[in-house]
Amino acid sequence: MNRLFWVVMLVIGAGLILLMMNDSAGRTFGIENNDFSRLIWVGVLVAVIGASLIRSGRPLGDMARNFGVWAAIVLALIAGYQYRYELQDVVSRVTAGLV
């Protein structure tokens, strides 16, 4: 954990220094400063979550299966939201046929 902490602090510090040095230009490595700061933040978050998952001691196959199940659930919810009006039409036709 000690090494992970210092790597995270180094990434945050390097990103902060780059943002301070390029503030007047508005771009860092060709990326807008707001987007670059979000990239640093998300990268650190993914690194910390990934390291904690690896150190949890659970088998990677189980974690991958659980991730796949949750990804399928999220995709089903997104698809349902995208087609909500069509689904409402189907439900209204079915209920009209039953009544």
pLDDT reported for residue 45:
87
Name the β-bridge partners of 27.
Answer: 32
pLDDT reported for residue 83:
93
Q: Is the pLDDT of residue 13 over 70?
A: yes
Q: Is 31 left (phi over 0), alpha (psi -120 to 50) or beta?
A: beta
| Residue 6 near residue 12 (C-beta atoms within 8 A) | no
Instruction: Look at residue 28 and give its three-state secondary structure.
Output: strand
* Residues in Cβ contact with 61 at an 8 Å cutoff, skipping those fewer than 6 apart: none
Instruction: Look at residue 13 and give its three-state secondary structure.
Output: helix
> Considering the entire predicted model, what is its pTM?
0.54
- What is the tens place of the pLDDT at every residue in 31-60? 887 888 888 888 888 888 888 888 888 888
Which two three-digit tokens encode residue 97?
Answer: 């046929």
23: DSSP letter: T
- What is the tens place of the pLDDT at every residue in 1-10? 578 778 878 8
Tokens 């088998």 sit on residue: 59
